[in-house]
Amino acid sequence: MSDDRKTRRIRLGMVGGGEGSFIGAAHRIAARLDDQFELVAGAFSSTPERSHASAAALHIPRERSYASYAEMAQAEAQRPDGIDAVAIVTPNHLHVPVARAFADQGIHIICDKPMATSLAEAQGLAQRVDERGVLFLLTHTYSGYPMVRQARELVAQGAIGAVRIVQVEYVQDWLGEPIEQQGNKQAAWRNDPKQAGPAGALGDIGTHAYHLAGYVSGLKLQELAAELSTFVPGRALDDHVQVMLRYEGGARGMLWASQVASGSRNGLRLRVYGSTGSLQFDQEKPEELWLTRPGQASQCLYRGVPATPGGVPVAHRIPAGHPEGYLEAFAQLYRDFARAWRGEAGVELPGLNEGLAGMAFVEAVLRSHRDGMRWVRP
């Protein structure tokens, strides 16, 4: 570790996330929130003109605005003030080649999920990252919410007894119409198998739901049975997912992910039922976690309240009653990454293992669906 890692901001580069990108802007806000990062370079688009225009809008000098990620990886590795980490916010098919290019240069990686478009790709990347010894963060944003982390701690402490049932859903309606055929760029790449891979809603939001269920419950998947649906005519990939889950140890689960659920905005909800109680979390009400025990009134645990059992103070920034939400949860992952980069002990990052588990889940769902909802092991 260089001597200045404790005293300076982390120099961050970005691939993708240029003009008009929601997720690129979310990454940049999250990186700035705790003042641990400085965005200094980027290849923001596959079109050089758009990339340079995006860089100019972000006040990045022309000499650090790149026409391609390959050029950026090589040039930044040779600079004495080169980037320490790169944020990859591209369509799915580029996650692996971009990550490999920067890992080969010893540059740490912050990558959007899913990790890859296939399990084989993900395994190859994991081997390369391990060989190069770089940090790898997979941005499963919802694990950054304070109340999600509190739920995880409560389950681990036995506050609801042995986990029996896990129900998770992630429902949206933004793809209820064929907007990918009407010029919507974000919808277009998500429904293009060449860019998104073989999974639509499954890879886009189903992987988030699956990770959240395992993150909080601590359970490991044993087998699943799944059905995929495509409701919008002419769409190439799934827009609706239903999965039954069997976990090791006997617990059971259900996962529902849909992007055609009319009237739903960003309905990520988790329910974990144990032998002595249950927990419920709703991402649209992220300040709250509901704890219920048989024969008792439900108890609402609020973010930032010191008396809350199992509180996780490191995961929030401001006093109770001052709402925190999605961007702060995203920023929590960046803060965790910064702590790991600075050499702090005991920092947990969703990374290679979570990425591999997510891709194994995706491929098992696809296999089960092809085989008539047969039970399969990931």
Write the DSSP assignment of 252-304 as a string of letters: EEEEEEES--TT-SSEEEEEEEESS-EEEEETTSTTEEEEE-TTS--EEEETT
Residue-level pLDDT at 317 = 84
Place of tokens 């008396």: 307
Of 275, 199, 282, 285, which Cα lies nearest the Cα of 241?
199
Question: What is the share, in percent, of the chain residues with pLDDT greater than 70?
Answer: 97
Q: Please list the residue range(s) of the chain that carry CATH number 3.30.360.10.
A: 146-319+350-370
Integer angstrom CA distances of residue 54 from 3, 27, 73, 89: 33, 15, 18, 14
Integer angstrom CA distances of residue 314 from 107, 145, 150, 329, 336: 27, 11, 11, 12, 10
Tell me how long the chain is: 378
Residue-level pLDDT at 230 = 98
- The alpha carbon of 95 is separated from its chain's Cα centroid by a whole number of angstroms, namely 13
Residue-level pLDDT at 315 = 78
Peptide bond preceding 306 in cis form (omega within 30 of 0): no
Place of tokens 């702590």: 339
Q: Please list the residue range(s) of the chain that carry CATH number 3.40.50.720.
A: 3-134
Mean of the per-residue pLDDT values of the chain: 95
Rounded-to-integer distance, Cα 254 and Cα 227, Å: 12
Q: Which residue ranges of the chain lie beneath pLDDT 50?
A: 1, 307
Which CATH code fits 3-134?
A: 3.40.50.720
Do 349 and 129 contact (CB within 8 A), yes or no? no
Return all residues near 22 (Cβ < 8 A) that are at least 6 apart: 186
Give the residues across from 242 on adjacent strands: 227, 256
Concatenating the DSSP letter of every residue in 322-347 gives: S---HHHHHHHHHHHHHHHHTT-TT-
Residue-level pLDDT at 1 = 42
Rounded-to-integer distance, Cα 244 and Cα 228, Å: 12
Place of tokens 């391609």: 68
The domain 146-319+350-370 is placed in CATH, from the list 3.30.360.10, 1.10.10.60, 3.40.1780.10, 3.30.230.10, at: 3.30.360.10
Of 118, 112, 82, 83, which Cα lies nearest the Cα of 99?
112
The angle formed by the CA atoms of residues 97, 102 and 104, to the nearest 5 degrees, is 95
**372 token code pair:** 């008539």
**60 token code pair:** 């990045």
- The alpha carbon of 374 is separated from its chain's Cα centroid by a whole number of angstroms, namely 28
Return all residues near 25 (Cβ < 8 A) that are at least 6 apart: 17
Integer angstrom CA distances of residue 27 from 51, 115, 232, 372: 17, 16, 30, 39
Rounded-to-integer distance, Cα 12 and Cα 110, Å: 10
Residue-level pLDDT at 2 = 52
